[in-house]
Chains A and B, each alone.
Chain A
């Protein structure tokens, strides 16, 4: 191996330069990751409709959206966090803790507004905890959130043990089981609204540009007058808050809280973000990509479910998807580089 090749080995970062304009020419748009993903999504959709006669049914398709709406809510905030060069592996545990807190408030006799507020505030507090450890103490976010991943879910286990909270008030089921109109569920509406908000924040505001700048060069961003620590703190808060929102939806949909709720979801959220074309090393990615990735993952799991594939086998597909999505373009580049 030549020296030139090895020098780049330790910190290979396939980041492009920061574009000074957001709008790309139309042919570049056609070749983009998002359009490729869209083709994949349509392909899976067509494949599914041939594979199972039950697939093309408005209610079944509506059910399929529950496979990704909660995860996608977190994935939007996670996308921003990963673009800024950090990660939060504790999101599923935040759901567990928020859901447990909601259960405690419910047991104390409070109604739906208090329960929802508790879920959201717990999420925010967890996000703040992660954020303070990362931005104030300067600890690496991977280790911090691996730690809080045990800590948050651990607290749920301390509270609940092998028990569960049941008996949420009936109007609480609105968030996870309600429908806005016809087959459009409340969760799907929340998902769509959040997608638009995050899309605008990331792609149309100064804050969004700051997120990209930090991900590409945090020190450079600092010297350009961006308050790096504050932006990161806000991103951790947002991720916590979104986990709280997802906790409200998931708890409402399941109608109960167990300490094992949403276990392993952090993996699916990260997969969704990476599948959506966000660079895991930070610096690039888009919200439309994450939205399409959410649909792809929802369609795949729903299609496999219709074919009676067990959940754990589906997780093989998720794992392969996660590695394959990153590996294939790199393999392709290597092969082309050689030829």
Chain B
């Protein structure tokens, strides 16, 4: 990248400086809002801001056009300092139709900017969105700065000589809005122009059209008298190094590929398509030259069962799903517990129960991950806290699974799976090697004991194909050491304790719980998973106001970090914000007899920093 591309094109208008901006693109599912949002994110990242994104789309692929159900949105927050969430309130909303306006306007700050595609505000669409009068005329939007832009008309105008059909022309209109927003925030368009050239390289007419519309949007901002000023958000002071834009699903996929390379083994990924986890399958399927086998199974059960089979045969085995799929996999995970085979299960959580809210985020599968199986069936459970964090969590899950011969459930959620942020690309030399030893062939006729344990209580991973180690495993209770079927009562109790002890001992192998903030104080705000950004930001705000409050994000959920009880006891109060009814809170209460308070939101949306800040202050002021 040359420095020229960083320079803002000369503008004749006033430029106001801002340090933190949230933009949301909203329209029909077919309007290309996700694309506009992603493109804006790329341009902004490369410009040098810290960025956090939140795509929000309906479960229906194409709900009827113009309806509230069909509204799709993409929110981008960019800043000159580091950000941990995609933003609470929206500074600039781009609304492509009345329904998008209706669904999103309440999230816009007072005095914020709303850019509407005026051409979509006809009688029919207004009625579809439930407006009796046009909100553009009746004062509904009086507290916002509204900019009416005839996007359809201007797009058609820009392409009148392009030779494209009306349908193709109209499909370019998201790029008009993108161009306008690029101008508004002084972003260079180079990344999008290059993307258009790569994407439509084989169809120069379409490439040219998209570029023209993008530029038309940009120059519309520059020349149209409605926009009196544009805005400048300086580059963030990110730690020097090479960065990559990454989503949680991409990061988790790269983590598994890395784990395969770090252990020198093939990776087997068995999965069945499910929102919001399918992108992991899509990503891994592309990297077959990295010794990755992807298997799209006939159902969730076959997905996990095939992974168990592949694990028995010696692959690093992973299955990915969301909550409903985890429910279906439960029995097979129990089999992996009984047969003590390494297996990683990724659960990209979404709103439940049942089919619930497939495209919305929630963190209500913690109990299911910890306890959703028959019998005493402990597994290791860990959770990633941001899109980029998914990379190291995937490697960690494989490390634990293979070292302790156990299933590991890795919890992410729709919010961090689809959200993107800049990722400081790690030096591969700093990544942990994953040492795996398989017992070798024996020819002396000595008995092989598949349930003899090492110092970590892990049994040997003896691979079919190894002479002299022939053995049988299965779901029936195992006799200690020999692994033969055993119905002996004493043995059953011993094995239950052994399996539990093995999982508990993982706590000795993972880092202690850390806190952000004072080590002792009035309040600890403790959460897990993708709420970390919001909790941390809210706690930082309250700390600045002089309160003795700290934040913690629990990555290791079973077993808990060995010092967690001590950490909890260092604060007068403990508050557990969760996007569920209080699952971690209940576990903390049960394990540590701590009178933890909750803050629980189950709306399919992530926390706002402001609402957490409010609750934290309430608790500090004695309102439990």
Mutual binders A and B: no
Residues of A within 8 A of B (CB): none
